[in-house]
A and B are shown apart, each in its own frame.
Chain A
Amino acid sequence: MQCEICKTRPATVHLTEIVDGQRTESHLCQHCAQKEGVTIKNQLSLNELLSSLIAAHQQTDEQSEAEGQISCPVCGMTMEMFRKQALLGCPKDYEVFEKSLQPIIEKSHNGNLTHKGKIPSGASLAPAKPGLKDRQKMKKENKIEELKKQLEKAVRDEDYELAAKLRDKLKALEQ
């Protein structure tokens, strides 16, 4: 395939754009693409990627290790006790042992880490009761999360028209 602009060099940049539901395709050579301002996002080098992953991992390890030394100020629970009986001692444990529990929660819930569903109608004495604003915010966040998942799936399935629609919806929600 030849470049659509210079019509001489071979087209190596293939761009599919969907704006307001209109799909346009362009096939350009490297040279013309640059002139047109079509830039391909520099991909993170593999080394950079790896080192950032390892750093994140180390941080988690350090935090988990710190959590391994402490006991919950409310119920006296430790991670070692949890590992033995697989039950926590109080709601606070979910904060105190957040990092150590995360992989366990992720594993039991098919990779999910965020609640979706019912929010208690709210007793007035609830200390952690979300206010109306928080509730609306949570609902919005749930929706955004859902859209993001659908978007990922659409991209995986190469359904770019659906992906574009989802992207527009997401943009509108995030503004």
Chain B
Amino acid sequence: MRLNELSTRLSQWFSPQAPLSDIVISSRIRLARNIAGHKFIPRCSEAEKRKILETLKETILSLGELGDIFFIDIERGSGLERDLLIERQLISRNLAAGKGPRGVVIAKNELFAAQINEEDHLRLAVFAAGLNLDKCWKRVNEIDDIIGKKIAYAFSPTLGFLTACPTNLGTGIRVSVMVHLPGLKMTDQLKKLFESAKDMNLAIRGLFGEGTEAVGDFFQISNQVTLGISEEKTVEDFMTLIIPKIVEYERIARDRLLVKDAPVLDDRVSRALAVLKNAKIISSHEAMFLLSNLRMAINMGRLKEISIDTINELFLLTQPAHLQINKGQNLDPEQRDILRAETLRAKLN
């Protein structure tokens, strides 16, 4: 499998035919695991990291249950390849920026990724489109069981799965849901959301942006407490409480916009469309912002000529690494802005 096979198509988890997918883009569950008898990554020698990598890589690649999977060597890969995998949410910035032997096993359908030698020896992740955490948990739990039968994990009866960072201790589970909240942003209610999330021990991060900045109003909501709460309870809280509440608030905000500010909303959408269809140079930041407006308008029934699929595809195709890999060459930021505008015009006109 070559990476440019990935770069030209849409991730399966980016599908519009999924529960609540007008607001919830995708669900992800990852488990942090370490092999018993080895040091954690920060204290591992190069040789020990290599041994861990080989053990985990061979074990996972030999599992027939995972279907079509392949290994990508992150240590030897180019910066562009790493960036592509980050843009597709298959690896973390931490793995990309790490040192020494490390890599990732990915399912061809991109619904499974096992990062090896990230902060922990193994980070198993399963993805799904829309709000579908039950499915993710069932799948990642099965895979974890199978690997756990072949490899002894570092585990303590009182502290659970032992992780390099005490914040992941216990279940080692990180439940993450990517949501699109332009309504809350436009009605100035994000601060309220952040505050209540903090009270509930949740982390909210902006997506697609550098660091914590949220470009295009995409946010990732994740649990932080992993000790003393079972995996099922964590998943259940997200499925029945946290995400439905956020979706409800976003819907109310969108309805309010329609009632109060329909002309403002429509004006914004028309302007966004005009720029995206005509610009000759456009930054990643501006493109994301405008595409986000279109996405909301389509989901609210205010824009019918473009499909959600096209918008979702453009979110990925206009990212820096996607542009360069699809073009087959390294481009500086100015060249990328021109190519991005070309890509948008071609898809939207």
Looking at the complex, which of A55-63, A125-133, A150-158 is the stretch in contact with chain B?
Answer: A125-133
Residue A73 at the chain B interface, CB threshold 8 Å: no
| Contact between chains at A110 and B36 (CB < 8 Å) | no
User: Inside 8 A of B160's CB, which chain A residues have their CB?
Assistant: 115-118
13 contacts between A and B (CB under 8 A): A77-B43, A87-B164, A94-B162, A105-B227, A110-B228, A115-B169, A116-B171, A116-B227, A118-B160, A121-B148, A123-B148, A123-B152, A128-B156
Top 10 closest A-B pairs, CB basis? A112-B228, A115-B160, A89-B43, A126-B152, A123-B152, A117-B230, A109-B227, A91-B154, A90-B39, A75-B43
| Contact between chains at B152 and A115 (CB < 8 Å) | no
| Contact between chains at A122 and B169 (CB < 8 Å) | no
Most chain-A Cβ atoms within 10 A of its Cβ — which of B153, B228, B232? B228
| Contact between chains at A90 and B152 (CB < 8 Å) | no
Residue A104 at the chain B interface, CB threshold 8 Å: yes
Residue B225 at the chain A interface, CB threshold 8 Å: yes
Question: Residue B36 contacts which of A75, A101, A128, A130 (CB distance < 8 angstroms)?
Answer: A128
| Contact between chains at A138 and B157 (CB < 8 Å) | yes
| Contact between chains at A126 and B39 (CB < 8 Å) | no
User: Inside 8 A of B219's CB, which chain A residues have their CB?
Assistant: none
| Contact between chains at A89 and B39 (CB < 8 Å) | yes
Tell me how far the C-beta of B246 lies from the nearest C-beta in chain A, rounded to whole angstroms.
Answer: 20
Tell me how far the C-beta of A51 lies from the nearest C-beta in chain B, rounded to whole angstroms.
Answer: 29
Residue A134 at the chain B interface, CB threshold 8 Å: yes
| Contact between chains at B165 and A86 (CB < 8 Å) | yes
CB proximity to B under 8 Å, residues A114-168? 114-130, 134, 138
Q: Of all chain A residues, which has the CB nearest B150?
A: A123
Interface string of B124-145 (1 = CB under 8 A from A): 0000000000000000010011
User: Inside 8 A of A91's CB, which chain B residues have their CB?
Assistant: 34, 36, 40, 154, 156, 162
| Contact between chains at A118 and B36 (CB < 8 Å) | no
Residue B3 at the chain A interface, CB threshold 8 Å: no
| Contact between chains at B224 and A113 (CB < 8 Å) | no
| Contact between chains at B152 and A125 (CB < 8 Å) | yes
User: Inside 8 A of B157's CB, which chain A residues have their CB?
Assistant: 115, 119, 128, 130, 134, 138
Q: How far is the CA of A44 from the CA of B42 in the complex (A)?
A: 48
Residue B159 at the chain A interface, CB threshold 8 Å: yes
Binding site for A on B (CB under 8 A): 34, 36-43, 119, 141, 144-145, 148-162, 164-167, 169-171, 173, 201, 224-232
Extra 8 A-B pairs, beta carbons < 8 Å, given A115-B161, A119-B157, A121-B145: A88-B42, A108-B224, A109-B227, A114-B227, A115-B160, A117-B160, A118-B144, A127-B36
Q: Of all chain B residues, which has the CB nearest A77?
A: B43
Residue A47 at the chain B interface, CB threshold 8 Å: no
Q: How far is the CA of A71 from the CA of B205 in the complex (A)?
A: 36
| Contact between chains at B165 and A123 (CB < 8 Å) | no
| Contact between chains at B153 and A108 (CB < 8 Å) | no
Question: Residue B43 contacts which of A90, A104, A126, A130 (CB distance < 8 angstroms)?
Answer: A90
Residue A66 at the chain B interface, CB threshold 8 Å: no
Q: How far is the CA of A114 from the CA of B43 in the complex (A)?
A: 26
Q: How far is the CA of A109 from the CA of B37 in the complex (A)?
A: 26
Given contacts A105-B227, A120-B148, A85 and B42 within 8 Å (CB-CB): yes
User: Inside 8 A of B166's CB, which chain A residues have their CB?
Assistant: 88, 101, 104-105, 108
Tell me how far the C-beta of B113 lies from the nearest C-beta in chain A, rounded to whole angstroms.
Answer: 20
Residue A74 at the chain B interface, CB threshold 8 Å: yes
Residue A10 at the chain B interface, CB threshold 8 Å: no
User: Inside 8 A of A112's CB, which chain B residues have their CB?
Assistant: 170, 225, 227-229
| Contact between chains at A117 and B152 (CB < 8 Å) | no
Tell me how far the C-beta of A93 lies from the nearest C-beta in chain B, rounded to whole angstroms.
Answer: 8
User: Inside 8 A of A127's CB, which chain B residues have their CB?
Assistant: 36-37, 152
| Contact between chains at A76 and B43 (CB < 8 Å) | yes
Q: How far is the CA of A108 from the CA of B227 in the complex (A)?
A: 9
